[in-house]
Chain A
Amino acid sequence: MSDLESFRRETREWLEANAPKGVIGVPSAELEGNWGGKKATYPNPDMKVWLDVMAEKGWTAPTWPKEYGGGGLDNAHAKVLAEEMKALRLPPPLVGFGLTMIGPTLLRFGNEEQKKEHLPKICRGEIRWCQGYSEPGSGSDLASLQTKAVRDGDHFIINGTKVWTSYADQADWIFALVRTDPNAPKKQEGITFILIDMDDPGVTVSPILLISGKSPFCETHFKDVRVPVKNVVHEIGAGWTVAKALLGHERTMIADAFGASGLKPRKDSKRSFLSDLAIDYLGEDADGRIADPVIRDEVAAIEMDSRAFGLTVQRARDAARAGHQPGSESSMFKVYGTELNMKRYELMVRILGPQALGWEGPGFSESELDTTREWLRSRGNSIEGGTSEIQLNIIAKHVLGLPV
């Protein structure tokens, strides 16, 4: 315990001494730049300084081993670091699929050479990663994927198209599932997990325009792309095992992003974000309550769902820290967290009323326009990363043992 307390003191001193002034309290909406990579842009120069000092310390990936650029901290110490950063209002120096998805996958399935090659670059924010899983013909039935990888000596020659590759236009490398054995008896068995440099000849990227008017996703095409065999993670033909583990990370990440975090209350308000919003648009009654009792009830229902969900995420973490075996809870968190986020935006749009109908131009505030776009974007939450129906199948089959 005294070890943790002295670590807390040292950490606070180090953060105070090394965090540049320009990163304190930067709102997360402005953090587009801390995804790293060759094309990285930073909201201000201090963010780059912040990334570099934290990477040097190993604290962009606090729990990864030091030899790969991490901080070598156990969960208890990493929690102290997170708490101290929060107390000093310091943003994460780096986010993205490198840290949350491919990094943990390489730590578990990668060989020594792959770990040494890729993990330090992730920690330093030098390389930004994207994910190549879905295909135009393979959505929920992911294992039916058709992107072909044909062996040619020390290389695979890859042909096919990946879709819903998030931020592929900003990424430097892609981790992808490809079919190396079209004749395998089970469709899952012919799949290989492979790392591809997006600068390789034959890789092209085209953004997809969504109903929200934005393009966070792309289509990524591979035409005779030559990829070294040494870029295969785990064994050839064992990609489905790797993919399932990684999907667990993805679901946890989506659940974290959409479920419990919610919307922060306004400064100096004793009310929640949603109740302040409802009072702005619907007024308050003589007792200071949301004037419309139906909306008041719905605000309370959403907030209570969020709280119960947040407590459940905490319970899973506390159990893991206490050494209990993790269950299939990531499926539950994905479906519940995303459905919750969607309900939240549905309610926000109804609170805004006619002011939620703006696409652009005069008559609508920036936050109203943002809310409308976010509502549209949220409709994808229950589709991406495995649809809600797929998650319910997983729960029914693997948690409840039903013969689905």
Chain B
Amino acid sequence: MELVLNEDQELIAKTALDFVEENSPVSRFRALRDANDPLGYSPELFKEMAELGWTGIPFDEKVGGAGMGLAEFVLVVEALGRKLAPEPFLGNVTMAGSALALAGESALRDAWLPAIIDASKVVSLAHQEPRSRYDVFAIETRAESGDGGFRLSGEKIQALDAVGADAVIVPARTSGDPGDRDGITLFLLEKDAAGLSIERQVRVDHRNAGLIRLKDVPCAASAVLGAVGEGGRILEAVLDRAIVVLAAEMLGGMSEAFELTLEYLKTRDQFGVKIGSFQALAHRAAKVYMEIELARSTVMAASRALDSGDPQAARLVSLAKARCSDAYVLATNEGVQMFGGVGMTDEYDIGFYMKRARASELTFGDAAYHRARWAMLGHY
């Protein structure tokens, strides 16, 4: 694997960054937050991004994608992460899109995946439950079969991009117990299904997240994505892709937060000098820089490993999430500290990044969780 961008990739990265800087300054995210916008993103801007081809990057041409890979997709997501652009790339494009793509040929895939790619529909994937924490197999939501279909009951929390979504993919247990990999089945439920409710959850980072309640929701057998009882395998692969995409978003966020901090260190005067001249701050800035450089390498490696089906991919995914979690939290904690009092004010953007860093750290497993996974995959 080559850890360097080729010309095409450099062009994708530059185009994405230019577009985001022009069309999505952090003030846009701030305005959506201030307006208490229920979606938290702009459907119009998201359509523009889809027209640029961004949503199709990681999918095959036969399903309407661009036939590239995660190595390219992470470049776009990194640019979005820099400016906290809230469009539905993670829960919708990455998670729901990957689940549809990985479940194999089906009428569901052909109906929904092209719609996700052209941004005519938004789909969420609700993997997290009140007691599951980071274990994607700890699913208590049950799907009882009968009358040629299923009835789903349970609760899902913080389903990303679920508010305003046209459908939600729900993993539910058709057999076995919470924690089992087998016995999980994926169901695609349209938003108006009887007994399904999606309520907005307001998070500290104001990311679009939904609380989903399923009360005896009837569901036809044709709503099953993949094979009955085999959803755990798909879910695992979806999560690995989602983790790398989130890590890329985090990489963008930490890079921007660090640049904001550096700029402040170079312009803020105290005691008659720029505060960046103090070694107590300069050395800590140098350490943040190194952690970000290391985080960048892990995102590049993990995305390439997933693209090529490398047997080390799962470990590299955990490496990327662990490094990006620690580095983003460090960069933003240090950022707020170095900004000093104004870093604590709502007026300055650095606080947004600190909140997003923590929210991202606690999504799909924190660094300690991924160190444990790294150890487990290494047989110790």
- Kindly report which residue of chain B lies nearest to residue A333, judged by CB atoms: B290
- Kindly report which residue of chain B lies nearest to residue A404, judged by CB atoms: B282
Interface residues of B in 328-380 (CB under 8 A from A): 368, 371-372, 374-376, 378-380
- Kindly report which residue of chain B lies nearest to residue A397, judged by CB atoms: B282
Q: How large is the interface on A (under 10, 10 to 19, 20 to 34, 35 or more residues)?
A: 35 or more
CB–CB B3/A396 < 8 A: no
Most chain A CB atoms below 10 A, which of B282, B295, B300: B282
CB–CB A300/B371 < 8 A: yes
CB–CB B290/A393 < 8 A: no
Cross-interface CB contact of A402 among B265, B293, B323, B371, cutoff 8 Å: B265
Q: Quote the shortest CB–CB distance from A47 to chain B (angstroms).
A: 34
Q: Of the listed stretches A197-205, A236-244, A249-257, A316-324, name the one at the interface; the rest are far from the partner chain.
A: A316-324
In the complex, which residues of chain B have a beta carbon less than 8 angstroms from the beta carbon of A211? Answer: none
In the complex, which residues of chain A have a beta carbon less than 8 angstroms from the beta carbon of B323? Answer: 304, 308
In the complex, which residues of chain A have a beta carbon less than 8 angstroms from the beta carbon of B262? Answer: 400-402
Does B215 interact with chain A (Cβ within 8 Å)?
Answer: no
CB–CB B289/A297 < 8 A: no
CB–CB A272/B378 < 8 A: yes
- Kindly report which residue of chain A lies nearest to residue B3, judged by CB atoms: A315
Does B34 interact with chain A (Cβ within 8 Å)?
Answer: no
CB–CB A315/B379 < 8 A: no
Does B276 interact with chain A (Cβ within 8 Å)?
Answer: yes
Does A133 interact with chain B (Cβ within 8 Å)?
Answer: no
Does B266 interact with chain A (Cβ within 8 Å)?
Answer: yes
Q: Quote the shortest CB–CB distance from B277 to chain A (angstroms).
A: 5
CB–CB A314/B294 < 8 A: no
Q: Quote the shortest CB–CB distance from B270 to chain A (angstroms).
A: 13
Known contacts A309-B294, A312-B293; is A300 also within 8 Å of B286 by CB?
Answer: no
Known contacts A403-B274, A404-B277; is A289 also within 8 Å of B298 by CB?
Answer: no
Known contacts A307-B319, A308-B298; is A400 also within 8 Å of B279 by CB?
Answer: no
- Kindly report which residue of chain B lies nearest to residue A403, judged by CB atoms: B277
Does B297 interact with chain A (Cβ within 8 Å)?
Answer: yes
- Say whether chain B's binding surface is mostly helix, strand, loop, or mixed: helix
CB–CB A392/B287 < 8 A: yes
Known contacts A308-B298, A311-B3, A404-B279; is A272 also within 8 Å of B380 by CB?
Answer: yes
Q: Quote the shortest CB–CB distance from B331 to chain A (angstroms).
A: 13
CB–CB A396/B374 < 8 A: no
In the complex, which residues of chain A have a beta carbon less than 8 angstroms from the beta carbon of B276? Answer: 396, 402-404
Does B2 interact with chain A (Cβ within 8 Å)?
Answer: yes
In the complex, which residues of chain B have a beta carbon less than 8 angstroms from the beta carbon of A300? Answer: 371-372, 374-375, 378
Known contacts A297-B368, A315-B300; is A271 also within 8 Å of B380 by CB?
Answer: yes
CB–CB B289/A275 < 8 A: no
Q: How far is the CA of A344 from the CA of B273 in the complex (A)?
A: 39
Cross-interface CB contact of A318 among B4, B273, B294, B371, cutoff 8 Å: B4
Known contacts A304-B323, A404-B277; is A324 also within 8 Å of B282 by CB?
Answer: no
CB–CB B371/A297 < 8 A: yes
CB–CB B319/A278 < 8 A: no
CB–CB A318/B286 < 8 A: no
Does B80 interact with chain A (Cβ within 8 Å)?
Answer: no
Q: Quote the shortest CB–CB distance from A18 to chain B (angstroms).
A: 31
CB–CB B378/A324 < 8 A: no
Closest A-B pairs by Cβ, 8 of them: A275-B380, A396-B282, A311-B297, A395-B286, A315-B3, A402-B276, A300-B371, A318-B4
